[in-house]
Amino acid sequence: MTGNMQFDGTGLRFVLSPGRTGTTLLREYLKKYYQRLTIWFEPPPSRELYLLWNAEQAGFVPKSTSVRLLKRIKLSSLKKESKEIIVEFDSYLSPLVCELLPYVRSPIVIHLIRHPYDWIQSMGNFRAASWRKYAVDIVPFTYIVHPAVKNIWRKLDKIQKLAWFWRLVNERILQQKLHCEHYGLFKFEDLVSHDRYKRMNSLKGILSLINPDCQLSVPDIDINNKVNKSEDDYFPEWQKWPIESIRNVNDICEELVALFDYKIQE
């Protein structure tokens, strides 16, 4: 699949994020209450394509290899799928989205975000699902390297690296708003809020992008259902970070933090 050929994304909804933004909770909610939807959660070979894309950025693989494979796989998958609406949750796809969405007709993107302080803590503890958490630090190309700091990457500490990861993925998703038929930005903090108004307002917005018919019935989400939570707690809460770490995260993420209407610790 080359040139200007496109695949039809009319029935495809991308839920994109850097991960750790409530995607598993939302997936389980949709599976429970909206069973007619087809749910794809990080479908194979998303992880492999993510690693391949990272290797491309490092110069070990020819550019656009991962995107060519991704387009071919998506086209094949869509042809086989008979249901009307497919909701794909894919944090692995998020960094590739800039190269993919220009080839999709009528894409709809749901962008889930989380404050970088809490996201860094959650990601630092979680690392990866199941047995992969023990391999993520030793397998090559598991982490995205922001091009702005490519030459000094090894000198950065864990908090700085995760801040650049958060920034790059959110930047790349935002860059694709012009290619989307519809785009919605939703906060993790609202989706799991103890304020029912905020929670339901967020749910209704997400469901209106997935399928307007879902608005006929909007059950509440179970925020007490701690799905896919991190079992580790060795990564410190941001309130316990050194002040220099807070300042580094602020410097790296401040533009997006302001755009997303989050607050920072001075």
Question: Where in the sequence is the domain holding 55, given as residue range(s)?
Answer: 7-259
Asked if residue 149 is part of any domain, the answer here is yes
Asked whether 109 and 11 are in contact (CB, 8 A), the reply is: no
Please write the tens of the pLDDT for every residue from 152-184.
999 999 999 999 999 999 999 999 888 899 999
Asked if residue 116 is part of any domain, the answer here is yes
pLDDT of 115 over the 80 cut: yes
pLDDT of 41 over the 90 cut: yes
Asked if residue 173 is part of any domain, the answer here is yes
Asked if residue 266 is part of any domain, the answer here is no
pLDDT of 3 over the 50 cut: no
Calculate mean pLDDT across residues 114-138: 83
Asked if residue 248 is part of any domain, the answer here is yes
pLDDT of 125 over the 70 cut: yes
CATH number at residue 209: 3.40.50.300
pLDDT at 193: 96
Calculate mean pLDDT across residues 225-251: 86
- What average pLDDT does the chain have? 89
pLDDT at 158: 92
pLDDT above 90 covers a percentage of the chain that reads 60
pLDDT at 2: 42
CA dist., res. 29 & res. 219, Å (int): 9
C-alpha angle 250/245/143, rounded to 5°?
85
Asked whether 69 and 52 are in contact (CB, 8 A), the reply is: yes
Grade residue 211 by pLDDT with cuts at 50, 70 and 90. Answer: confident
Calculate mean pLDDT across residues 32-43: 91
Cα-based distances in Å from 65 to 50, 143, 234: 11, 18, 37
pLDDT at 15: 97
pLDDT at 160: 97
Asked if residue 204 is part of any domain, the answer here is yes
pLDDT at 4: 53
pLDDT at 231: 65
Asked if residue 90 is part of any domain, the answer here is yes
Asked if residue 265 is part of any domain, the answer here is no
Our count of domains for the chain comes to 1
pLDDT at 138: 81
79 or 190, which is more confident? 190
